[in-house]
């Protein structure tokens, strides 16, 4: 919408719109010097301003739940987001968000049938029209090995055939599900591996098992490799953040996104490695928009290809 159209939509004066833009009190973008107001974001902003006089409704705790990501968890601390981290896996995170135990969830769940990341899982766990999914990063996952790969591991089939010790992530994590998908593609199963009895809670835990010599390899993030060897297997994993539209406009998310545009953040991502931040902040799915049910990330079908503003 143009300035005139959004003023009419909100039933306020055009001058008031300009004042709100100056205070960054309304979502907007500038295109060749012209102010534009995405209708879906203006509607979400209106929802965020709604006062709920229901004494019995308690707000969700300030917790990020879901998948473990080294760059995100560092940024949550450095941005002063105020969110505590409860990284128990993608599925647990979506469940915590749906049941009001968290305000934000991170996930990287691949749907083998459609080939899409996260969309099917989010729609399954969060029916209705209250939530929005924002892209964080494309990540690289692969086999972590001991430094310099002394065993000469060349892939999953090789590790299975040689009976190497495999560190695995806990059930319900995106990495555990991704491993199942990769094994299925090679006509393998987890039962063919010499897996450790104790699953790793985080990527850092999995890397530590290999560093300490308790495992020979494991599927993990490139950003968690440290000095370990690494064989890339998936270079385009989509890691996304999910929250209500109201919580998108809350200070925690806004501070995080603003910090994600700083040089310090960019340097950290390069240092860790394995991140593509090209589309950070893009809307991947908006529960309010029926058309988004058919969204395919990376194509023109994505929800208006919208980038949320600071």
- Across 78-88, average pLDDT: 96
pLDDT of residue 20: 87
> How far does CA 176 lie from the centroid of its chain?
16
Q: What is the mean pLDDT of residues 225-250?
A: 96
Judged against a pLDDT cut of 80, whether residue 61 lies above it is answered with yes
Structure tokens, 119: 């969309």
Confidence of residue 43 (pLDDT cuts 50, 70, 90): confident
The pLDDT value recorded for residue 235 is 94
pLDDT value at residue 120: 92
Average pLDDT of the chain, as a whole number: 88
Residue 306 pLDDT: 35
Strands 34-36 and 29-31: antiparallel
Q: 52 pLDDT band (50/70/90 cuts)?
A: low
- The predicted structure's pLDDT at residue 129: 81
What integer is the mean pLDDT of 240-245?
96
* Residue 33 in this model has a pLDDT that exceeds 90: no
User: How many of the other CB atoms lie within 10 Å of CB of 237?
Assistant: 21
Residue 137 has pLDDT above 60, yes or no: yes
Using alpha carbons, select from 199, 197, 224 the residue that is nearest to residue 211: 224
Of the segments 23-27, 41-45, 186-190, which one has the largest average pLDDT value? 186-190
d(CA 145, CA 298): 32
243-302: pLDDT as tens digits = 999 999 999 999 999 999 999 999 999 999 999 999 999 999 998 764 344 443 333 333
pLDDT at 57 (0 to 100): 55
> What pLDDT score does 45 carry?
74
- Look up tokens 């012209």; give the residue: 34
What global pTM score does this model have?
0.77
Environment class of 26 (CB within 10 Å of its CB; exposed 0-12, middle 13-18, buried 19+): buried
pLDDT tens-digit readout, 138-197: 999 999 999 999 999 999 999 999 999 999 999 999 999 999 999 999 999 999 999 998
Q: Above pLDDT 70, what percent of the chain?
A: 89
More confident site: 127 or 125: 125
Q: What's the pLDDT score for residue 282?
A: 95
């Amino acid at each position: 919408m143009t300035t005139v159209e959004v003023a009419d939509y909100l039933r306020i004066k055009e001058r008031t719109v300009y004042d709100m833009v100056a205070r960054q009190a309304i979502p907007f973008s500038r295109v060749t010097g012209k102010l534009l107001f995405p209708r879906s974001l203006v509607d979400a902003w209106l929802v965020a301003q709604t006062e709920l006089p229901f004494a019995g409704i308690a707000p969700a705790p300030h917790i990020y739940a879901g998948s473990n990501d080294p760059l995100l968890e560092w940024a949550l601390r450095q941005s002063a987001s105020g969110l505590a981290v409860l990284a128990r896996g993608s599925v647990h995170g979506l469940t915590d968000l749906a049941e009001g135990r968290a305000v934000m969830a991170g996930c990287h769940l691949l749907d083998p049938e459609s080939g899409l990341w996260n969309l099917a899982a989010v729609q399954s766990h969060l029916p209705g029209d209250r939530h929005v999914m924002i892209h964080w990063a494309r990540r690289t996952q692969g086999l972590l090995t001991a430094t310099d790969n002394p065993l000469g591991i060349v892939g999953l089939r090789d590790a299975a055939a040689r009976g190497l010790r495999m560190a695995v992530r806990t059930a319900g994590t995106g990495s555990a599900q991704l491993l199942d998908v990769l094994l299925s593609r090679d006509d393998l199963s987890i039962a063919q591996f010499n897996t450790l009895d104790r699953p790793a809670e985080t990527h850092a835990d999995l890397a530590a098992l290999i560093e300490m010599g308790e495992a020979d390899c494991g599927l993990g993030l490139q950003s968690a490799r440290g000095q370990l060897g690494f064989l890339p297997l998936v270079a385009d994993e989509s890691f996304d953040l999910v929250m209500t539209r109201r919580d998108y406009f809350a200070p925690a998310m806004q501070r995080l996104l603003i910090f994600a545009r700083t040089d310090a953040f960019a340097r950290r991502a390069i240092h860790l490695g394995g991140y593509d931040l090209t589309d950070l902040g893009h809307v991947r799915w908006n529960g309010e928009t029926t058309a988004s049910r058919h969204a395919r990330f990376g194509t023109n079908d994505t929800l208006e290809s919208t980038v949320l503003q600071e």
